Structures are given as structure tokens and as C-alpha cells.
Amino acid sequence: MANEFKNKNEFKEEFQRRIIERYGRSFEQAHITEKYMILGEMVRDYASIHWNASKNVVAEKQEKQMYYFSMEFLMGRLLTNNLMNLGIYEIAKEGLAELGQDINELEDLESDAGLGNGGLGRLAACFLDSLASLNLAGHGNCIRYEYGLFKQKIVNNEQVEVPDQWLSLGNVWEVRKPKHAVNVNFGGHVDMWMGEDGKAIVKHVPSLIVRAVPYDMPIVGQNTNLTNTLRLWSAEVADDACDASSLNEYVNEVREICRNVYPDDSTEHGKILRLKQQYFFVAAGLNNIIESHMSTYHTLDNFSEKVAIQLNDTHPVLCIPELMRILMDDYKYDWDQAWDITKNTMAYTNHTVLSEALEKWPIQYVQDLLPRVFMIIEEIDRRFKYEVSHDMGRSDLMNECCVLKDGQVHMANLAIIGSHSVNGVAALHTKILKEDVMKNFHDIYPNKFNNKTNGITHRRWLLYSNPQLSNLLEKTIGPDFKANPERLQDLMKYVDDKDLQKEFMDVKMERKKILAAYIKETLHIDIDVNSIFDVQAKRLHAYKRQLLNVMNIIDLYFRMKQDPSFRIYPRTFIFAAKAAPSYTFAKEVIKLIHYVADKVNNDSDVSPYMKVVFIPNYGVSIAEILMNAADVSEQISTAGKEASGTGNMKFMMNGAITLGTMDGANVEIVEKVGYDHAEIFGLRADDVALVKHENTYDVWRKYNENANIQKVVNSFVDSTFSNDPKDFKQIYNELMFKNDEYLLLADFEAYSHAQKNIEERYRNKEEWAKTCLINIAQSGYFSSDRTIKQYADEIWNIEPVNMK
Ligand code: 26V
């Protein structure tokens, strides 16, 4: 039985005892990775004390629980977070120090759990932290991927993907739970016959059976005894699932299901594999929830009163037909009852308006892989069409909104039809869903749509990753903001205080030095900590417009070369971004950034004024040292395209100024801080929509009108940066021969002007510091605690669990 150590002496004793027990060595003899494992296990066991109690209390009190179904959870490292949330960080740190071990060395051994791509996955992780910290019974359901998202290396200025073996040291946080394993069925055919009661009996006879084994990770909140669960499903071979002759093939088929976060879906095999992953974790998770519900209530009549399921984007939307299948085939509910239960249980979050990102599956794939589920989807579609055309008399909307059309299953449509709530992730995004992308659905179901502006956990992103700022805030406004981040507002009273402004700049300097040391150590580049740290860190995508940032850098470079009297305030332009392996344009942009960096950083006229740095392998841990060192937060997507953004909130909370378009949650950031305390530029979402609608934009006109733009665009193809004529040709073509889809040239002048304004602002350090302090003071709204409270009250209908 684990001890709940109360002080550093008890900690030390326990630590040493465990090392001897486990490895048969003394503390001094133990390898550092062994020390890491033991510390992790101690923390996990400490959390486990309340884990079981939490499950019991929730069952005894018959509390409603929420399950967040997401293909991605970008958890990052958990050691520091868990120690801090449990309130035992100092005990462990001091205990280890007395044993001669620096805790930071152990913290650095942990791999990021990189089970996700970007914002959507990190949001899920922030939500888990807030759920537990708010005492809400809310769990995660996902896949235990063998490899996280690829590691990014830069070789010869280009991105190279390397497998992320995050499990190589083992995962101390997880507990394998074979007793909860379930089988998941694929392929085969469906038998139907009439039962004695006259009801149809349906039996799916699968051609592939996979065993789903859960690994549970405890999710501990700050200052609470409630411990939730992140359940990760792993695919294994099922007993007697195939004959020996095809054993190898079967084993391979099973193994690949959980191998990668986002398998390459440029091939048919890759696409089907992704569909398999989706059904795999949906079916396993749902079966499990049903089993546990039945053991408490012995009926599913009250399922939707006791269970809420949030569908994180369309990836888990098979939950809807799967729950229908279980209710009807296994528990004999009729369609209407099953439909009520399903709809009342499910809620769907949309995370993008980009049409290429809205999931559609060829009907054939779904029919072959999931024959029974497909039958149910067909029936959902049939009934929906009937309802809309007959009951509502809106046959005009029927074809737009139905699930099955053009030979494809439209997953977003299925999600909207089969759930009681549809939410966007920022006010502007939800408005665009209602008025444009999902307008027809909004006409049919006006009450389903609602907004839940994203948030970030202020614990990880402020308290733990920026202790310098956190301490300064505590000294100024007291500790209340830690449990109640909206109290950061109290800082508004002090934003004019000159001493505080100075102290804030000192804290920022300290953070900049930490980042500069990391850059020096990993990239061997010296950067000037007195320069403005201008950071754009996010996935690489055309709509996010990293290229616009680069174009401005190139323009500044040319102007400084051409005119010795033109000099800018020293600036370090920092990029961090992974590109999808098959996204060639994005990879070209990464290459361009490196070529520009080479040129600029090695030019002695220009490099005292600007440096360009690309930090490879952007992920949660790098974000923890990058965001809080930034002076400027680049949020420059084409207006209307970025659903919300969450990096923008992390920068804001750490006192950076937003240089951005009126897009996603930037709009709400500006609403909070006022136009004077953000640098906003460019076309608005309405302007973009109009330009697109009326087809009035002409990229060549922009090009011809502005000599600076011309020079920059030409530099992509005139060997300014590379002698290989193939390099950057694609970038040139995308801009000039596809009419600059994301309107970079349209916003170029405004952006360049905004950059100039940033420089003017920075020259006045007191005003600058005041703006940063206002950003921090107004950032409490963007804590995911606020977001989660809104989900809990308005969608899930769950309340804090009283653990006593
Ligand atoms: C996916 C894909 C895949 C195919 C090619 C193009 C493309 C473009 C975007 C996406 C994003 C999928 C969903 C997603 O990750 N959305 C992000 O969700 C965040 C959390 O709500 C939000 O802050 C970001 O604005 C949004 O892009």
C-alpha cells in the first residue's frame, strides 16, 4: 500500500525503500532513469489513493459523469504537473535535493505524451486538468498509440520525420486493466431473423475481432481529492479470433490499429485504417461505459441522465450509430427510445470551417468495415430526410443536410443530427457556423447551436511553467488568482505602477534568457535578449500564414540592405511548427524559413537588427519555455479561418501582445484588452467573405501596385535564397497562380504597418509593460476552468462531486 508521505523525511524513506525493493540497489547506485521511474510511481500511487475513492463516491452518489471522446490528447509531461496539483512538489524537490538529486534532471527524462496533432488535442488535455480541478467527474477516452506524433528533425534545412517512441522508458502513469478488456468487431456480414416476440433479431457476424485493452491514467486536479481517468485503448489479438494459417496477417492487422496518431491517409489503406481506429476506440469506450452504467443502475432507461458524451470533432462520431446499435441489438430498445437516449447523451464540438478538413467517408468503406453500423446510419439518414421534408416541409434543406450523399458518409451532418448540442469554439467561429457553414442546419435546429470559447489551463501555462511571473502576481494581488483565474482582473489596479512595470520587464527578461539558453544549446545560435522576441508557434498551414510573416522578414531584409539609414528595432523572429508529412507546401515554407534565416543571420549588416530562428519539434514541452518568453504573439490567420486558436491565450496570459487579425478568439482577446492593447490589422472575416463571394480579388494587381511586394515575391524564384530553381517554386505558384487563396498580398501592407507599430510601442518600455500587464489581467477569462464550467452547466448538466 502506498504511503501518503507528509514531509520530506517520509518521502526520502519511501523513495529509498522503493529503489531497494524494485532494483535491489541503493539510492547512490541507482541509474537516473530508475530514479525517475520510482518517483513517477510514487506520485501515481499517491494519486491512486483517491482514485478508487473517487470511483466509489461517484457510483454511490449516482453522480452524472461526462466522457470526452477524442482521438487526440496532447498531455505533454505529467510529473511536474501531478506533483504540483497534488501539492507535494516542494516535498519531493527538497527530499531529492537532500539525497543529492536535482528534481529538474528527473523531470527532463519524461517524454511528452504527444498523442495528438495540435490545438484540438491540447484542448482536450487542458479540459481534463480543469475537470479534475473543478471536482467534476469527467474522463477522457482515446487510443494508446504506440508512437506519438512524429518527432521533427531539420536535416539540410528540411523537415524530416522520426518516430516518437514515447513509451521507450515505459509509461509510469498508466495502469493496464485487462479485466475491462472488450472485443471490437469489424467486417463480415449481418444476419437478421424474426424473434418469438415478433421483433427483429440482428446479429453481426464479423470477419475480424480485435481485443481492446484499456490503460488508465489518473487525472489529478489541483487541490482536490477527485481523481478522474484518461482511458487509452490498446488493440491486441483476441482469443481464437483466427486460424493459425493467417496468424501473421492477423497480428499485423491488429497491431497497426494503435501504431500511429494520424496514419498517412493519402492511400486507401491509410484511410481505412483511420476509420478502423475511430470505430475501435468508440466501440471499446462505449461498451465499457454501458457495462459500468449497468452495474450501478441495472437499466439503460436513465443512461442520458447519468452519462454525457462530448464528441471532440467528427472523429468519434461513430458513437452515435454505435450507441443506437447497442441499445437496439443488445438491449432491445425500439428505434424511438434508442434515438432519444442517444441524442440526449451526445454533444458535438466543431473545430474547423475548412471544407477540406470536414470528414467524409466513402460509403463503401463504412459498409464493408462496419456493416451493422452502416445499416443504422442509413436509417438515421432516411428518417432525417423524412422529418425535414414531410414534418418540417423543408425539402429544400434535405439534400444539403443529409448524411449519405455523393457516395459518401458526411460525418459532421451525422454529428449534428444525432446530438442535442453543437458548439463552435470561439464567438466568431460559432457565428460563422450558424450563418454560413451550417446555416441550413441552424434553420432546422436553431436551439442546438451554442458557443463555448476555448480556454487553456492556467495551472500548466502560467503557474507551473512561469513561476517567475506567478510569484510576481502573487506578490501584487495575493494568491486568489491561482484557484480563481478571473481574479487576475485585480491586477488592473496596478497596471500603471512603475515599479510593477519594471518588475514585469525583469521577469520577462528572465524568461527570455531561459529561452535564449535553450536556443544556444540546441541550435548554437546566439540571440539578443534585448531584442523583441516575436514568436509564431503553431502547426504549419497555409491559412495560418507563416508565409506572411516570412514575407515581412524578407521585405525588412531587402530594405535594410538597400538603405543603410533604414534600421529596425532589434528583433528575433522565432518560428516553431510541424508540417503534416504529406503537405508539401507547408514543408516548402519550413525550408524557406531556414534559407531566409541562413541569409539574414549571416549578414553582418543586418544580423545585429534581426535574427530568424526555427525551433524544431514544437510540442507541449517546448511551448512551456517558448510562450512565456515572447514579447509578440503572432496570430495572423486569414480572418474567418482559425476557429479559435489557443496559443494566442497562452501568450496573452504570459504578457505578450497579440499581433493579429480579427479571427478566432483574437476577437475576444481584443474585446477584453481594447484595441489600444493589441495590434490588429488586415481584412475582417466579412471582408474576406465578400471578396471571395464577389470574386473581386486579383493577386497580380496587388503585385503590380507595390514594388516591395514584387521584390519579395520574386525572391522565391530568382535564386535570392536558393540556387536550385525547384526550391520555392511551389510557394510562388500557390500565391500567383491560385490567386493567393489566403490573401497574403491583400494583407501585406497592413501587416507591415502593424509590425512598425509594434516597434514604436516597444520603444516606450513603460507603456509596453502596461499593455502586457493589461493582457495578463484580462486573460483569466481564457482559463479552461471558465470554458469547462460553461460546458458543465449548459451542455453536460453535471455538478461538482462532493468527495466527503
Ligand atoms: C485539419 C486538417 C486536415 C486536412 C488538411 C487541412 C486541415 C486543416 C485543419 C485541420 C484542423 C482540424 C481540427 C482542429 O485541430 N482544429 C483546431 O482546434 C483548436 C481547438 O478548438 C482551435 O483552437 C484551432 O483554431 C483549430 O484549428
- Secondary structure of 113-176 in the HEC alphabet? EEECCCHHHHHHHHHHHHHHHCCCCEEEEEECCCCEEEEEEEECCEEEEEEECCCCCCCCCCEE
To test ligand 1's pocket by mutation, which of 73, 74, 120 has the most ligand atoms within 8 angstroms of CB? 120
- d(CA 350, ligand 1 centre) in Å: 9
Label residue 443 exposed, middle or buried (CB < 10 Å: 0-12, 13-18, 19+).
Answer: middle
Every domain of the chain and the residues it spans: 61-75+111-452+787-793, 526-781
Phi-psi region of 614 (alpha: psi -120 to 50; beta: other; left: phi over 0): beta
Mean pLDDT per 10-residue run, the chain (804 residues)?
77 95 92 96 92 93 97 98 95 96 97 95 98 98 97 98 95 97 96 89 94 97 93 94 80 95 73 96 98 97 98 98 98 97 98 92 97 98 97 92 97 98 98 97 97 98 98 98 98 98 98 98 98 98 98 98 98 97 96 98 98 98 98 98 98 98 98 98 98 97 98 97 96 98 98 98 98 98 98 98 88
Entry field: residues in the chain: 804
With b for 16 or more beta-carbon neighbours within 10 A and e for fewer, the 507-529 pattern comes to bbeebbebbbeebeeeeebebbb
538 labelled catalytic: yes
- The residue whose C-alpha atom lies closest to atom 10 belonging to ligand 1 is 357
- Written as nine digits, the cell of 82 is 501531478
Indicate if 526-781 has the same CATH topology as 61-75+111-452+787-793: yes
770 labelled catalytic: no
pLDDT of residue 1: 42
- d(CA 762, ligand 1 centre) in Å: 32
- d(CA 531, ligand 1 centre) in Å: 32
pLDDT of residue 266: 66
CATH class, domain 526-781, is alpha beta
786 labelled catalytic: no
- d(CA 630, ligand 1 centre) in Å: 23
pLDDT of residue 795: 98
- Rounded to whole angstroms, the Cα distance separating 767 from 496 reads 9
To test ligand 1's pocket by mutation, which of 72, 351, 454 has the most ligand atoms within 8 angstroms of CB? 351
- Written as nine digits, the cell of 750 is 497592413
Q: Is 783 helix (H, G, I), strand (E, B) or coil?
A: strand
Atom of ligand 1 nearest to the CA of 123: 20
Q: Is 313 in the pocket of ligand 1 (CB under 6 A)?
A: yes
User: Amino acid identity of 613?
Assistant: V
Q: Is 310 helix (H, G, I), strand (E, B) or coil?
A: strand
Residues 618 and 537: beta-carbon distance below 8 Å? yes
- d(CA 61, ligand 1 centre) in Å: 38
To test ligand 1's pocket by mutation, which of 261, 313, 352 has the most ligand atoms within 8 angstroms of CB? 352
Q: Is 619 in the pocket of ligand 1 (CB under 6 A)?
A: no
Q: Is 664 in the pocket of ligand 1 (CB under 6 A)?
A: yes
544 labelled catalytic: yes
Q: Is 647 in the pocket of ligand 1 (CB under 6 A)?
A: no
199 labelled catalytic: no
CA–CA–CA angle 131, 44, 80 (5° rounding)? 70
- The residue whose C-alpha atom lies closest to atom 1 belonging to ligand 1 is 357
- The residue whose C-alpha atom lies closest to atom 8 belonging to ligand 1 is 357
Phi-psi region of 268 (alpha: psi -120 to 50; beta: other; left: phi over 0): alpha
Atom of ligand 1 nearest to the CA of 664: 25
User: Amino acid identity of 508?
Assistant: K
Q: Is 658 in the pocket of ligand 1 (CB under 6 A)?
A: no
351 labelled catalytic: yes
Q: Is 643 in the pocket of ligand 1 (CB under 6 A)?
A: yes
- d(CA 357, ligand 1 centre) in Å: 7
- d(CA 423, ligand 1 centre) in Å: 15
Choose the catalytic residue: 641, 650, 702, 770: 650
The domain 61-75+111-452+787-793 having CATH identifier 3.30.70.260: the answer here is no
Choose the catalytic residue: 538, 545, 571, 591: 538
The conformation of residue 569, written as its DSSP 8-state character, comes to: P
- d(CA 581, ligand 1 centre) in Å: 16
Atom of ligand 1 nearest to the CA of 645: 23
